[in-house]
Amino acid sequence: MTARFSGKNVVIIGGNSGIGRSAALAFAQEGAKVVITGRAPQTLESAAQEIGHGAVAIRSDIGDVAQTSQLFAQLASQLDKIDVLFVNAGIGAFQPIEKVTEEDWDTIHDINLKGVFFCVQKALPLLRKGSAIVLTGSIGALKGIPTGSVYAASKAGLRALGRCFAAELVTRGIRVNVVSPGPTETPIIGRTAGLPPQAIPAIREQMIRNTPMHRMGTPEEVAAAVLFLASADSAFVTGIDFLVDGGAASF
């Protein structure tokens, strides 16, 4: 096992399940001091125990800017800097246009877009030359998917944030990249708004059929891409959208 992150401070927003949890495990195994956040106390506690290596779990909702401000104020008192910020928190939603309410729109964008912007803004005082930011996007931003308009718009906006952040922060020596998973075996599919539980198996099978590699990705496969983008292995990489999707968005 390599130790690319020995002595590094890594903060993972939404690190208590799925891709974030897998990335937290991988960062810790490569020597990082890991801080994870999330909204569910139970999964935060179990994730911190699983990650080990002195991982710290803090309850915080990225959809609430006040909580994000409090989070980074707390981190500023505990850390001298953040070497890697992985903003992974997000929610899915699939609803026909006619059924989308203003509340639906605001909830999704408060977490997937507005929350990401202010998370990076509040983290900036702790980011230094050589730091890396990775944002979790989605191939949903690249494809026209029926009932996916609100979610896709939020992730397309996030992709734009990634480009603009990269352009603005490059002179500070801070790299910013987006990782965009395709169909991935994570708990989020079971929490996606607009999907009744009984419909999930059929939707999962449809995802597999629509993926050229004919399978779902794993959180560990996406996490490997995150660690690459966060490490010195990608020192000459910024502003990209790294697709980890089995070819789903490309052919």
Domain locations in the chain? Answer: 9-242
Reply yes or no on whether the pLDDT at 207 is more than 60: yes
Extract the tokens encoding 129.
């030359």
Query: Reduced to 3 states, what is the DSSP secondary structure of residue 109?
Result: helix
What is the tens place of the pLDDT at every residue in 230-240? 999 999 999 99
Annotated active-site residue in 5, 151, 165, 242: 151
CA end-to-end distance (rounded Å), the chain: 34
Average pLDDT over residues 129-148: 96
Matching residue, tokens 């931003």: 141
Active-site annotation holds for 52:
no
State the architecture of 9-242 in CATH terms.
3-Layer(aba) Sandwich (3.40)
The answer to whether the CB of 17 falls within 8 A of the CB of 47 is yes
pLDDT in the model for residue 204 = 87
Reply yes or no on whether the pLDDT at 15 is more than 80: yes
pLDDT-based confidence at 190, cuts 50/70/90? Answer: low
- The whole-chain average pLDDT of the chain stands at 95
Extract the tokens encoding 57.
């779990």
Separation in Å, CA 59 to CA 15, 42, 62, 76, 112 = 11, 10, 10, 16, 18
